[in-house]
Amino acid sequence: MNHRHFVGFVSVVAGLAAVGGEMSAAQEGVVSHRMPELRVDPSPVSSGRSAVVASYADVLEPVQQAVVSIFSTKLVRQRVETNPLLRQFFGDLPDQERDEKQRGLGSGVIVSADGYILTNNHVVEGADELKVSLADDREFPAKVVGADPKTDVAVIKIEMEKLPFITLADSDKIRVGDVVFAVGNPLNVGQTVTMGIVSAKGRNQLRLLENVGGYENFIQTDAAINMGNSGGALVDAKGRLVGVNSAIISPSRGNIGIGFAIPVNFAASVMRSLIETGTVTRGYLGISSATLTGDVAEQLGLPKDAKGVAVTDILPDSPAEKAGLKISDVILSINDRSVNSLEGLRVAIAQMVPNSKVKLRLVRDGKERSLEVTLGELSEKPNELFSGVNIGPVSDDVRRRNGLDSRVAGVVVTEVDENSVYAARLVAGMVIVEINQRLVTDVASAKRAVILPGVNLLRVNYRGVYGFVTVTVK
């Protein structure tokens, strides 16, 4: 029997009756916060053969005190079709709009005594109000400290002191087969603990975050995870947090033993950045690459079963170019940790702090060598030339759509935000040929030619006519 598989996140959303009035916003402007005191235990869960355990009640009792339910509310505008009978008597009446209150449910984990809570971005995204319910039924309003859609991590805070909080494990040390427990509030039945094992690690090709260009590095578990478990705790047999429950794959929208959690090391690094700066900064290497295949490995002087990532291109002026990385190099490890796939390399680099030095172990011309690279900072808007102005290559499709002569070369303005200060000077479809009398051929060369700050002279082609435009960057 064929089933259509459901692949998605596990928070609950429900719509209620129409309401009026204003709602107070939970998400406010970006502010920095003092980093809270976290409790971290990096030791492995087991040092050898484990004894038979009859109950985990003593381990899980303090964990339950640190796991909360998160109730979100947001106001959405719904279109209501006018009754056809009214149109018969009063003519073509327009459809009406009304505000509807939409409620959501998720879970979260208290990570500090002063009220910082780790959860999922999709639990709090777009919320106008957040309410946190503790295990002892006390309820508090919460505010979003920061959220990162690319990792599905969010941090919220309640104004309370001396709260019970969880200990963080070192998720790099978990092993397939380790016993784990999922703790949360599935389907709003109340706090629930389920048991399973670590089924797999490093799941990075699920495409759960594909629509935001996200970074996937999930722990897979068969501990039951259902709607409402999002943001809840995945803990080990010592009651330490190893992951933040996030998603399931199922043909029925219910648990079938394929659940996914964000490793706590990954989530905690994002959390620290969100608390300290309100944003997330990521490391940047500046290469294009591909997962090594058997055929390519042999041609590059490696065994057919070798694992790694082959460098296919190096961006100009990038950290990779400055460090001496070359096309056809095969990256085997970063800081002595093996790299087996393009996705794994991308996540590993993104987790690192800009300006940090990393050691790459690689193979070049059949010989192994090491290379030290100082990472740059990844731009979350790689095609943005000026604030609110995105550019791209002049492809054949762009030429056809804009009626461009084959001799016109440069970069094309693909999008201009209506609120951009440059919207009056630059429009979509305009081709930038030169910047400050330097020919531009791609996004990288265009960015290199821009004077920051300063006045920039652009030679452009718009609808077949050449001209000059000045753009002042402050």
- Closest-CA residue to 387 (of 315, 294, 450, 314): 450
Catalytic residue among 11, 148, 152, 222: 152
Give pTM, 2 decimals.
Answer: 0.76
**Residues making up the chain, counted from first to last:** 474
Burial of 211 (0-12, 13-18, 19+ CB in 10 A): exposed
Predicted confidence band of residue 12 (pLDDT cuts 50, 70, 90): low
DSSP 3-state of 187: helix
Q: Measuring CA to CA, which residue among 471, 470, 286 is closest to residue 382?
A: 286
E strands in 204-250: 218-221, 233-236, 241-250
* Phi and psi torsions of 60, nearest 5°: -85, -20
- Of the two residues 444 and 362, the one the predictor is more confident about is 362
DSSP 8-state code for residue 47: S
C-alpha–C-alpha distance, residues 300 and 149, integer Å: 37
Tell me which of 199, 230, 269, 341 is the catalytic residue: 230
Asked if the model's pLDDT at residue 62 lies above 90, the reply is yes
Quickly state the pLDDT bin for 404 (edges 50, 70, 90): confident
Burial of 340 (0-12, 13-18, 19+ CB in 10 A): middle
Residue percentage of the chain with pLDDT more than 90: 69
Q: How confident is the model at residue 16 (pLDDT cuts 50, 70, 90)?
A: very low
pLDDT at residue 21 in the model: 37
- pLDDT exceeds cutoff 60 at 15: no
- Write down the pLDDT at residue 189: 95
- Give the residue-averaged pLDDT of 441-464: 91
Average pLDDT, the chain: 88
Rounded distance between C-alpha atoms, residue 97 and residue 79, angstroms = 5
Active site residue 152: yes
Report, as an integer, the average pLDDT of 330-348. 94
Alpha-carbon dihedral of residues 394, 395, 400, 403, nearest 10 degrees?
Answer: 10
Whether the pLDDT of residue 92 is over 80: the answer is no
Mean pLDDT of 223-239: 96
Answer whether residue 4 shows pLDDT above 90.
no
Confidence label for 85 from pLDDT (cuts 50, 70 and 90): low
Contact 227, 187 (CB under 8 A): yes
Catalytic residue chosen out of the listed positions 11, 69, 112, 122: 122
pLDDT tens by residue, 117-156: 999 999 999 999 999 999 999 999 999 999 999 999 999 9
Per-residue pLDDT at 255 exceeds 70: yes
Cα separation, 214 vs 152, whole angstroms: 8
CA dihedral for 227, 228, 230, 232, sign (positive or negative): negative
What is the spatial distance between Cα 234 and Cα 180, in angstroms, rounded to a whole number? 6
Highest average pLDDT, of 330-334, 363-367, 407-411, comes from: 330-334
3: pLDDT strictly greater than 60: no
Percent of the chain with pLDDT over 70: 89
Report in angstroms the alpha-carbon separations of 212 from 148, 150, 176, 261: 10, 6, 29, 18
Helix (H) or strand (E) holding 276: helix 264-277
